[in-house]
């Protein structure tokens, strides 16, 4: 059918508990194993926890907030904050399994931006 695998991007990941699988050789290419990777903007971690993705999102939103620090000092920019920072922070949040510590991190970030 003309489809080819990108062997440099192909990885093996064990989701859940257990040992990280050993690298596998397929069609003469070695497929590495990994504990985490980014897929469609979300950080997927073998521990099945959302904390790594939440920390990544807080970092991305913090970066945007910091770049626009002089803009935030003006009044009436809450819509801009919601569009640029909160949308980046909460992207993919509907799939998160929140722990109390994760919830506190998100609230602390939001309060620091206020």
CB 50 within 8 A of CB 102: yes
pTM greater than 0.85: no
**Top-confidence residue, 62 or 20:** 62
- DSSP, res 76: S
Contact 11, 33 (CB under 8 A): yes
The residue with tokens 């819509």 is: 79
Tokens 């939440």 correspond to what residue?
54
Q: H or E stretch including 53?
A: helix 51-67
pLDDT, one tens digit per residue, over 50-76 is: 888 888 888 888 888 888 777 766 656
The span from the CA of 62 to the CA of 41, in Å, is: 16
CA distance 104 to 110: 10
Coil, helix or strand for 97?
coil
Listed ranges 7-16, 41-50, 65-74, 78-87; the one with the highest mean pLDDT: 78-87
**HSE, side-chain direction, 13 A CA sphere, residue 22:** 2
């Amino acid at each position: 059918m003309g489809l080819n695998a990108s062997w440099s991007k192909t990885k093996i990941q064990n989701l859940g508990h257990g040992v990280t699988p050993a690298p596998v050789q397929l069609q003469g290419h070695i497929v590495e194993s990994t504990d985490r990777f980014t897929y469609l903007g979300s950080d997927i971690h073998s521990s099945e926890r959302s904390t790594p993705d939440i920390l990544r999102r807080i970092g991305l939103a913090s970066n945007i907030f910091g770049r626009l620090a002089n803009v935030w000092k003006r009044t009436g920019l809450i819509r801009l904050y919601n569009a640029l920072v909160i949308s980046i922070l909460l992207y993919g949040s509907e799939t998160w399994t929140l722990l109390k510590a994760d919830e506190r991190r998100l609230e602390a970030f939001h309060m620091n931006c206020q």
